[in-house]
Amino acid sequence: MSEYFKIGKIVTTHGIKGAVKVFPLTDDPSRFELLEDVIIENRGQIETFKIQKIQYFKNQVIIKFDKLDSINDAELYKNAFILINKEEALPLDNDEYYISDLIGLNVETIDGDEIGTLIDIIYTGSNDVYVVENKDTKKQILLPAIKDCIKKVNLEQSTITVEIMKGLDYL
């Protein structure tokens, strides 16, 4: 596990004074308002920036950082990721997990049959969908992240126990 969480990606500039448009990679975009500074990972380099101003526009967050004073400065940070330390992460409710903690877990049925490894999570709006890949065949199965299917997540044992719903073939 990384010591940072990605909470946003800078997608483009905004205006001429160095503001940037950020696509949030968090369930709660207003969480940017709780931060005084963030870490930006840009082309393998990590740098800390203070947040000066935050606005919202459609599904994006517009942020003005202290070291970006012109459109030319901001242009250099396109496609960079905004990170926070794990200690700054928002607390989770019961049965909620950080994506970075779930990716890579082994997935098995309630009968103990190994299905594969969780490699991705698809956000559909109504519920997430877990993408599980079989280690041998590389075949993927899509599992809805609902209580009827996902029975137990055990981070200590690195496993997710699932009940395969009718119609889902995983072999």
CB count, 10 Å around CB of 148? 9
The answer on pLDDT for 171 being more than 60 is no
Instruction: Provide the residue ranges of all domains of the chain, joining segments of one domain with +.
Output: 4-87, 99-162
**What is the rounded CA–CA span in Å between residue 98 and residue 55?**
26
Average pLDDT across the chain, whole number: 90
**What is the rounded CA–CA span in Å between residue 92 and residue 69?**
36
169 pLDDT tier (thresholds 50, 70, 90): low
103-132 average pLDDT score: 91
CB count, 10 Å around CB of 35? 15
pLDDT score of 94: 82
Query: In terms of pLDDT, which residue wins out, 72 or 6?
Result: 72
CATH superfamily name and code, 4-87: RimM (2.40.30.60)
Instruction: Dump pLDDT digits (tens) for 9-67.
Output: 999 999 999 999 999 988 788 889 999 999 999 999 999 999 999 999 988 999 999 99
**What is the rounded CA–CA span in Å between residue 47 and residue 157?**
35
The answer on pLDDT for 160 being more than 90 is yes
pLDDT score of 4: 87
The answer on pLDDT for 1 being more than 50 is no
CATH topology of domain 99-162: SH3 type barrels. (2.30.30)
| DSSP collapsed to 3 states, the chain | CCCEEEEEEEEEEECCCCEEEEEECCCCHHHHHHCCEEEEEECCEEEEEEEEEEEEECCEEEEEECCCCCHHHHHCCCCCEEEEEHHHCCCCCCCCCCHHHHCCCEEEECCCCEEEEEEEEEECCCCEEEEEECCCCCCEEEEECCCCCEEEEECCCCEEEECCCCCCCCC
Percent of the chain whose predicted confidence (pLDDT) is above 90: 68
- pTM value is 0.69
